[in-house]
Amino acid sequence: MSEIRVTSVVGENGGDRVGLTTGLTVGPLTGTTGIGATITHQGHAQFAGVCTATNVSAASSVTATTFYGSGANLTGITGDYVKLASASGDLNAYELIFDNLDVSTYRSFDLIGVFQPNNDAETLRLRYRTGGASGSNVTGSNYNYGWSEKKDSNTNNCVASGPQTKLLMTGTIGNHSTEGVYLNMRVSMAISGDSTAVINLGNSVTWTGTYREQGNAFRGVNGTGHYYSGIYPTGFQIHFGAGNIRLYSYSLYGLKR
């Protein structure tokens, strides 16, 4: 193998591209360390296959169909499922409100979290909200729901009702420091322009959860419900049957239309 040393390689007329038919290796050909290479390019650069580098810098953006690796340090990337908010603390208020949601962008919202009542033996409920930033609860008698509760005694029971003025989601929940409810719920919302069926059926909620009741016994729940009437919600809230929500820790995600 021979070696050619040059300071510049240009095309035949000074502007054409130079083709390297079998590829190009930049850097040491053996195990030599401490030799680096910098490739500077103006205009478009195309690479077939996988390009491996310690660092890639770009003045504006790097476009790729697939990113390899964990992606833990990638920023500015959005998809159809987007984290919108997260919070935790001691609320000590009657309701936890999610208002003025971007319903034109997101069809559904996933709320995943743990909630604890101030009072012992309380059930968790949900209502839709309308009116945007200055919204109010939807309290019409058009909520219908059904859920199944599993018990640690290897028994279960079914609860269903409607029409009601709220969506009942659980049995009674304890307020001890080791009690409360964990829920993973999806809240979907209809918007103006949806078909009649979507308007009446699209304001739906599904959920699964685990909670400890007032005697610290296990309970598992999965359920579904909806608001069967032509409304266009802009948010929702959760509350216990009586008293305040004490502790909470949640994340809210949006699923695009």
pLDDT digits (tens, 9 = 90+) for 20-63: 666 666 666 565 555 556 666 666 666 666 767 677 776 677 67
Q: What is the pLDDT of residue 44?
A: 67
**Where do the H-state alpha helices sit in the chain?**
196-201
pLDDT bucket at 16, cuts 50 / 70 / 90: confident
Q: How many CB atoms lie within 10 A of CB 122?
A: 24
Q: What is the pLDDT of residue 142?
A: 98
Q: How many CB atoms lie within 10 A of CB 224?
A: 15
The DSSP H or E segment spanning 160 is strand 156-164
Q: What is the pLDDT of residue 57?
A: 72
Distance of alpha carbon 145 from alpha carbon 225, whole angstroms = 4
Q: The whole model's pTM is what? A: 0.75
Q: What is the pLDDT of residue 18?
A: 77
Q: What is the pLDDT of residue 20?
A: 67
Q: Is 202 within 8 Å of 190 (Cβ atoms)?
A: yes
Mean pLDDT of all residues in the chain? 88
Reported as a single tens digit per residue, the pLDDT across 210-251 is 999 999 999 999 999 999 999 999 999 999 999 999 999 999
Q: What is the pLDDT of residue 40?
A: 64
Are β-strands 180-188 and 106-117 bridged in parallel, bridged antiparallel, or unpaired? antiparallel
pLDDT bucket at 75, cuts 50 / 70 / 90: low
Q: How many CB atoms lie within 10 A of CB 222?
A: 14
Q: Which residue has the higher pLDDT, 77 or 101?
A: 101
Mean pLDDT of 83-107: 97
Q: What is the pLDDT of residue 38?
A: 60
Output b/e per residue, 159-196; b: 16+ Cβ within 10 A: beeeeeebbbbbbbbbbeeebbbebebbbbbbeeebee
Distance of alpha carbon 214 from alpha carbon 151, whole angstroms = 13
Number of helices (H), then strands (E), belonging to the chain: the values are: 1, 13
**109 pLDDT more than 90:** yes
Cα angle for residues 35, 41, 44 (degrees, 5° grid): 135
Cα angle for residues 10, 15, 18 (degrees, 5° grid): 45
Measure the N-to-C terminal CA separation of the chain; round to a whole number of Å: 60
**138 pLDDT more than 70:** yes
Q: How far is CA 245 from the centre of its chain?
A: 23
Q: 204 pairs with which residues across the strands?
A: 226
pLDDT bucket at 106, cuts 50 / 70 / 90: very high
Cα angle for residues 217, 93, 251 (degrees, 5° grid): 70
